[in-house]
Amino acid sequence: MDYFFGLLFGPKGWAGNLASGALITISLALATLPFGLALGLAVALAKRSGSVILRGLATVYATVFRGVPELLTLYIVYFGLQLGLQRGWKMLGFSSNLDMPAFVAGMIALGLVLAAFSSEVWVGALNAIPKGQREGAQALGLTKGMTFRLVVLPQLVRLALPGLGNNWMVLLKETSLISVIALPDLMFWTGRANVVTKEPFFFFGVACMIYLVFSLISSAGIDMLERRVGRGFVSGSGGQR
């Protein structure tokens, strides 16, 4: 027991590194969230728009990013942007190398995937808002933008929350893939600790437990949020999902 305690908190313990990795994992997930959700909403609106081209593009986007493994998306974004960036950098006349920050690559890749999955949730929520709400807003003389902002959006959040909560849980776990492009996240430091100490079962077990705690906290937080945004609604027969 003392031995394992020392592995984490001893003079050469790994607790500090794991904590810094966990912080990166959380920051990456939190940084990806607004970007992915906003893009997802945009894709959802495109899917419901009157333009055939926009609808087609949105559908293709969602199909592609929901069908390709996240790991592959990550590689394509990381190496693709890297190559593109370097080509552009050279064209601007610089001779030095410009590296794609792994954090940004991860954020973009995970955000693109999150957008594809959350767009489905947004579409479902948009469809669940009764037509009368929009018609009522129109009758009151609100513009299209105002209708969306003042009438649709507040209701949308409540309707989309269960699905978006799900998206968040998936995202949180997907951040673990980022270690393959050498971002020092939780998985990265766990791998390091394993190489140095030769205690893989212990360290990967600890990492799994940390992820599990994040998941449990998230799911409790989402429950709380759902209760809060739904507090104006009677949750009677069968709940309100």
Closer to another protein by Cβ: residue 25 or 147: 25
Measured N-to-C along each axis, helices 52-67 and 15-47 cross at an angle, to the nearest 10 degrees, of 150
| Residue 80 Cβ vs another protein, minimum distance, rounded to whole Å | 6
| Residue 141 Cβ vs another protein, minimum distance, rounded to whole Å | 36
Which of 20, 27, 86, 176 lies at the binding interface for another protein (CB under 8 A)? 176
Whole-number Å distance between alpha carbons of 131 and 127:
9
83 binds another protein (CB under 8 A): yes
166 binds another protein (CB under 8 A): no
Whole-number Å distance between alpha carbons of 142 and 145:
8
| Residue 212 Cβ vs another protein, minimum distance, rounded to whole Å | 4
| Residue 50 Cβ vs another protein, minimum distance, rounded to whole Å | 25
Q: How many CA atoms lie within 13 A of 57 on its CB side?
A: 10
Q: Which residues have a Cβ under 8 Å from the Cβ of 162 and sit 6 or more positions away?
A: 222, 226, 241
Which of 49, 63, 97, 133 lies at the binding interface for another protein (CB under 8 A)? 63
Which of 187, 188, 189, 193 lies at the binding interface for another protein (CB under 8 A)? 187
Candidates 35-43, 48-56, 136-144, 208-216 — which segment interacts with another protein by CB under 8 A?
A: 208-216
Candidates 29-37, 72-80, 102-110, 126-134 — which segment interacts with another protein by CB under 8 A?
A: 72-80
38-50 burial, b for 16+ CB within 10 Å, e for fewer?
ebbbebbbbbeee
Q: How many CA atoms lie within 13 A of 204 on its CB side?
A: 8
Q: How many CB atoms lie under 10 A from the CB of residue 237?
A: 6
192 binds another protein (CB under 8 A): no
197 binds another protein (CB under 8 A): no
Both tokens assigned to 119:
């767009």
Whole-number Å distance between alpha carbons of 110 and 176:
11
Judged by the rule CB under 8 A, the positions of this chain that interact with another protein are 63-64, 66-73, 75-76, 79-80, 83, 173-174, 176-177, 180, 187, 190-191, 194, 198-201, 204-205, 207-208, 211-212, 215-216
